[in-house]
Amino acid sequence: CIAIAAATSKLMGLHLRQIAHAVSMAATAHNILKQVRSDHVTVWKALAAGQAGRDGVQAALLARAGIEGPSLPFLGTAGWCDFVAGKRFELGEMGGDNVSFLICESRIKTRPARALTISSILAAEKLARRFGGPDKVKRIVVATYQRAKLGTGPQHWVSDNRETADHSIRYCVAAALIDGVVTPHSFDETHLRNPQLRELMAKVEIVEDVAYTNAYKTQPQAHRSRVSIFTSQGECIEAEAGGDEDDLATPKA
């Protein structure tokens, strides 16, 4: 919201003092809590960024009209630093003048799901034609890095809406096995209520692979996962994903 307020103000040609007022209004009146993406996730997660953008534009419009924002929005006695960030901070070097902008380091998702699920999805898709159907599966083990394992909590077991389902490794792996590839349609009502998909979800176990955790901590970062399917006939088929050109952290030229 703050960044949108500043960018909109610059596009409008506002002078520095007006930009400061726009940023002040954005910072003091429009704070989005991370709760948007925590615990049980609703469709508001998909709308929150747009709401923040609208609020940022509105702050710039008000500044252009002559409205002044609160003084000392960050460092005041009831300001952003103490009551939102919980600490004082200093801005690092910004983009420009031979310094790359942060957007150049942005990651582009290859599947319409939470970033922490994607390596597991890609591994599961490799097994979709080989696993023989839900009734042939005894157990599915997803080995992944610690951050991804911790990112799937009890609230993701139910997965009764799109925003919860696309955060769930269990749901995404089951959908990948059934559909062959995860698309936006994998999260529609038909899939959310699919008894076969629910049956597969109940058979998924998520474990940490220390080697994958270490790879996630390195630079360049790697998002690795391995999906192992144990069949009722005593067979095991598995596939791995991550660390290659499909890795979430691989630069996209």
Higher pLDDT, 153 or 86: 86
- Lowest mean pLDDT, pick from 7-16, 180-189, 202-211, 237-246: 237-246
Asked if the model's pLDDT at residue 25 lies above 80, the reply is yes
pLDDT given for residue 101 in this prediction: 78
Amino acid at 221: Q
Q: Model-level pTM? A: 0.76
Q: What tens digit of pLDDT does each residue of 60-109 get? A: 999 999 999 999 999 999 998 998 888 888 877 777 778 777 777 777 88
Higher pLDDT, 31 or 195: 195
pLDDT given for residue 249 in this prediction: 77
Q: What angle do CA 131, 122, 43 make, to 5 degrees?
A: 110
Q: How confident is the model at residue 11 (pLDDT cuts 50, 70, 90)?
A: very high
pLDDT given for residue 16 in this prediction: 96
pLDDT given for residue 156 in this prediction: 67
pLDDT given for residue 96 in this prediction: 76
pLDDT given for residue 76 in this prediction: 92
pLDDT given for residue 175 in this prediction: 96
